[in-house]
Amino acid sequence: MDIWRRHRSVHGGVGHLRPDGPRALEEWDDFTYRVVGTAPNLAAARDGVAERALDDDSAA
């Protein structure tokens, strides 16, 4: 598994067609993806996923 964090459109479907729609931030827990937060839109979701990755790198 090489995708540990991802974001998904709350309303399903192709999220890039609704960049202003809310997103669920998900993280892999070695069994399934679990929701770890939300974001109000695509840009914030991308920032949130990247921010969590930076936090994890500094904790290691």
Question: Residues 6 or more apart from 25 whose CB is under 8 A from it?
Answer: 5, 6, 7, 35, 36, 37, 38, 39, 45, 48, 49, 52
Q: Which domain holds residue 30?
A: 5-59
Residue 60 has pLDDT above 60, yes or no: no
What confidence tens digit (pLDDT) does each residue in 2-13 have? Answer: 778 899 999 887
Domain tally for the chain?
Answer: 1
pLDDT band of residue 59 (cuts 50, 70, 90) is low
**pTM for this entry:** 0.75
What confidence tens digit (pLDDT) does each residue in 15-45 have? Answer: 778 899 999 999 999 999 999 999 999 999 9
Question: Residues 6 or more apart from 16 whose CB is under 8 A from it?
Answer: 42
